[in-house]
Structure 1
């Protein structure tokens, strides 16, 4: 319980620093989030290596996206893509394909890409499309898990919030500046990762 409280305190402080544009302080708080969840996962006796690898690459993505250049954006995108791949591998152990559960994710992603496509530069269109495909698979694999309802709901909600967070980043970067973008992106992202870890511990 102590680590959970610390995580949400750090998340709240990070959001405050982000929304008030105190970028030097963000460089101290943001990189703390995933290590806290890694320690929490150890505390919850989670054994699956894929979860820890996903959190590690999420940490790399957090660090890269703190810098504003296109190179660091690509490195961040690549890091989070790898994180999503390892979440897919994690969820795969309990996965049972359902077309009914898969279609909403596929339709939402396809529609969203069409919505923001005009703002994506040609050099980023393929990487962003590949990333969207992978996060869609992550959502599908979360939705297709066969486990107890408590674990299922927590992980599924976390996965959906992760997709929402990524979608908000894309909206803000490629379509139109989003008011209070740091608040919405980081709150959905932080809660998403927390719910995935907590939900997996209850499988």
Structure 2
């Protein structure tokens, strides 16, 4: 059982994370800068710290920590930072996959029961079906519009986040499932905004805000879903 002092510390760290996320929302369209990067990174780094303080699973702490590293890279606009950010989130999604597999029915080994769990509820099957359509569609749209050096990393990343969302659908926590779907939606909008929507389009304003809200809220829901177990 957590002591009152420990609970206060955990609550303060979580509140700081939410505060940083809200502050970054007001800076999401600002030019890249070091203070902007720090605020963005702090939001997810503090979620990782909250998970650690609460004794959350190591895979959760690691996934959130890598997410904060990815945030630091993606706070800049150059291609090198984008590649490193993509790599950070790729590993984070792999950790989430392992976490979801461990905590889903059948553990790490029984994939038949996991498939049965997804197909047992219409809403789970519908989400899985929508993802199965969305991922190849996004890949087909992105391939002609990105450089050859980015094609393989983008395909691998798209498939990994697809598996991440599918494994989340095997869990009993609707909170974690919603968080994973929001995270996936955020990445889809980010990719569309970066590669598919013309730079002159007025849609970038709402897309930037949507990416951040869906991303942070998704990570928050996943974290709180596991910490409440």
Same fold, TM exceeding 0.5? yes
Counterpart CA distance in 1 for 2:28 and 2:130 is: 32
- Equivalent residue in structure 1 for 2:68, among 59, 62, 75: 59
Q: Relative contact order: is structure 1 or structure 2 higher (C-alpha 8 Å, sep ≥ 6)?
A: 1
For the aligned residue pairs, the C-alpha RMSD in angstroms reads 1.8
2:115 corresponding residue in structure 1: 97
Matched, 1:9 2:35: no
Q: TM-score, with normalisation over the residues of structure 1?
A: 0.88
1:82 corresponding residue in structure 2: 91
| Residue-by-residue CA offset, 1:29-57 (whole Å, 9 max, x unaligned) | 112112210222134332x1111111111
In structure 2, list runs of 5 or more residues that go unmatched.
1-10, 105-113, 120-124
Contact 1:17–1:25, Cα closer than 8 Å, also in 2 = no
Describe the SS at the equivalent of 2:41: helix
2:204 corresponding residue in structure 1: 179
Contact 1:91–1:142, Cα closer than 8 Å, also in 2 = yes
Contact 1:139–1:159, Cα closer than 8 Å, also in 2 = yes
Counterpart CA distance in 2 for 1:39 and 1:63 is: 16
Query: Which aligned pairs between 1:40-189 and structure 2 lie closer than 5 A?
Result: 40-46=50-56, 48-95=57-104, 96-98=114-116, 100=119, 101=125, 102-145=128-171, 147=172, 152-176=173-197, 177=199, 178-180=203-205, 181-189=207-215
In structure 1, list runs of 5 or more residues that go unmatched.
none
Answer with 1 or 2: which has the greater Rg.
Answer: 2
**Aligned residues, how many?**
197
1:29 corresponding residue in structure 2: 39
2:49 corresponding residue in structure 1: 39
Runs of 4+ in 1 over 6 A off after TM superposition: none
Contact 1:15–1:182, Cα closer than 8 Å, also in 2 = no
Contact 1:142–1:156, Cα closer than 8 Å, also in 2 = yes
